[in-house]
Amino acid sequence: MALLLRTVARQGQCLSRSQFGVLYRHAVPMGTTANEEMNKFWAKNTRLNRPVSPHISIYKWSIPMLMSISHRGTGVALSSGISAFALAALVLPESYPYYLDLIHSMTFGPQFLAFSKFALAFPVAYHTFNGIRHLAWDLGKGFKIPEVYRSGYIVVALTVLTSISLAAM
Amino acid sequence: MISLLFRSSSLIRPLAVQKKDRDCPYLISAKIHATPSNYAGSGSKAASLHWTGERILSIALLGLAPVAFCYPGPAVDYSLAAALTVHGHWGLGQIVTDYVHGDFKIKMANAGLFLLSTVTFAGLCYFNYHDVGICKAVALLWSK
C-alpha cells in the first residue's frame, strides 16, 4: 500500500488525472488513523495536566441514562457473583449442600429468606429484560424517544413483577 | 486499494500550501505515512463478527433459561457454565474497552480479565462435576 502511494506521489500526476481530478488536485491521503489521533489528543492533554470540564457530575439524569448504566451495573454485579461462586467452589473444602444448610441454620426468619431471593432475582430479571430491549435495538426497532421510554417502563415493570413472583416461590 | 485514493473526502485532506511542481512530489511522499494494509479501506471483519457473536450468545443464553428450568441436568449445567462465562467475559471486555486507555493498561486489563474468566469457567466446571451442578444448586437455594 505504501509503495503504491509513494509511486503515485512521485509521479504527482495520477491524482490530478482521475475523474475527480478537480476535487483532489491538492489532496493528500491521511497518514494517521482515528485511533492514533485520539491517543495523541489524550497524551497531550494528560501531559499538560489540563483539567477536564464537569460532564457526568452536572448533566441532568434521564431514565434511559439510568437504565443504561444499571444494565452495565447489574452485568458487572452478576458476573462478579458468578466468578466469586466459581472461586468458592474451587477453594472451599465442603460441598454446596453443607454450606447451604450452614446458612439456613443462621437465618433470621422467612422475611430474610424472601428478601434474599428478591435481591438475587432482581438484577437477573432486570439484566435479562433490559437485555431483550437491547436486542430489539440491535434489530433496529424502538429508537424513537417515546418508544425508548415506553420500553424502559415495561422493562422496569416486568422486572419488579418477576422478582416478586420468584421471591414468592 | 486504488479506490482509497479516489474515494470520498473523509479520508483525504487538502494540502495547505501550494508548492512548485518540482518540489511537490517529494513533499507529498514525505507526508505520506506507511500505513499497513489492515488500516486501509479493506480492513478485517473481526470486530463485526465479534459483535454478531455477542448477540447470538445472548439469545442462546436467553433460550437456556427455560431449558434449565424444565430439563435440569449435566448437559444444561455445562452449557450454562460456558454461556455465562463467555457472555460475562465479552461484557466485561466491552467495559475495559470503554474505560481503560493506553496500550499497556489495555493489555494488562485484558490479561487480568482472561485470567478471571478462565478461573470462573474452571470453577463452574468443577462445581458441575464434583458437586450438585448449577441447575440443582439454584433449585436447592430456592427450596428453603
Domain boundaries defined on chain B: 48-143
Alpha helices in chain A (DSSP H): 2-11, 14-17, 21-24, 34-47, 63-91, 96-106, 110-138, 145-168
Which DSSP category does A98 fall into? Answer: H
Q: Chain A interface, mutation test: which of B8, B21, B27, B28, most A Cβ atoms within 10 Å?
A: B28
Q: Chain A interface, mutation test: which of B27, B120, B136, most A Cβ atoms within 10 Å?
A: B120
Q: Return the residue of B nearest to A94 by Cα.
A: B131
Q: What Rg, from alpha-carbon coordinates, does chain B have?
A: 25
Annotation-wise, does B87 bind a ligand? yes
Structure-block grid coordinates of residue A114 = 424472601
Average pLDDT over residues A58-83: 97
CB of B41 within 8 A of CB of B7? yes
Asked if residue A105 has pLDDT above 80, the reply is yes
Asked if residue B8 has pLDDT above 60, the reply is no
CB of B139 within 8 A of CB of B69? no
Measured between beta carbons, the chain A residues lying within 8 angstroms of B142 are: 117, 166, 169
Label each residue of chain B as H, E or C: CHHHHHCCHHHEEECCCCCCCCHHHHHHHHHCCCCCCCCCCCCCCHHHHHHHHHHHHHHHHHHHHHHHHHCCCHHHHHHHHHHHHHHHHHHHHHHHHHHCCCHHHHHHHHHHHHHHHHHHHHHHHHHHHHCCCHHHHHHHHHHC
Q: What is each CA distance from A104 to A38, A101, A107, A115, B87, in whole angstroms?
A: 54, 5, 5, 14, 31
* Contacting residues for A106 by C-beta, under 8 A, at least 6 apart: none
Contact between B58 and A78 using a beta-carbon 8 Å cutoff: no
> How far apart (Å, rounded) are the C-alpha atoms in residues A149 and A138?
17
CB of A159 within 8 A of CB of A123? no
Contact between A33 and B39 using a beta-carbon 8 Å cutoff: yes
Q: Considering the entire predicted model, what is its pTM?
A: 0.75
Contact between B123 and A26 using a beta-carbon 8 Å cutoff: no
Measured between beta carbons, the chain B residues lying within 8 angstroms of A96 are: 127, 131-132, 137, 140
CB of A153 within 8 A of CB of A108? no
Asked if residue B12 has pLDDT above 80, the reply is no
The pLDDT, as a whole number, for residue B144 is 78
Contact between A30 and B132 using a beta-carbon 8 Å cutoff: no
CB of B13 within 8 A of CB of A27? yes
Cβ count within 10 A of residue A151: 20
Measured between beta carbons, the chain A residues lying within 8 angstroms of B55 are: 135, 138
End-to-end CA distance of chain A: 64
Band of the pLDDT at A6, cuts 50, 70, 90?
Answer: low
SS3 A29: strand
Average model confidence (pLDDT) across chain B: 83
Orientation of helix B134-143 relative to helix B103-130, angle to 10°? 70
Report whether CATH 3.20.20.70 matches the domain B48-143: no
CB of B57 within 8 A of CB of B87? yes
ipTM surpasses 0.90 = no
Q: Which domains does chain A have, with CATH numbers?
A: 63-168 (1.20.1300.10)
Structure-block grid coordinates of residue A115 = 428478601
The pLDDT, as a whole number, for residue A91 is 96
Contact between B119 and A82 using a beta-carbon 8 Å cutoff: no
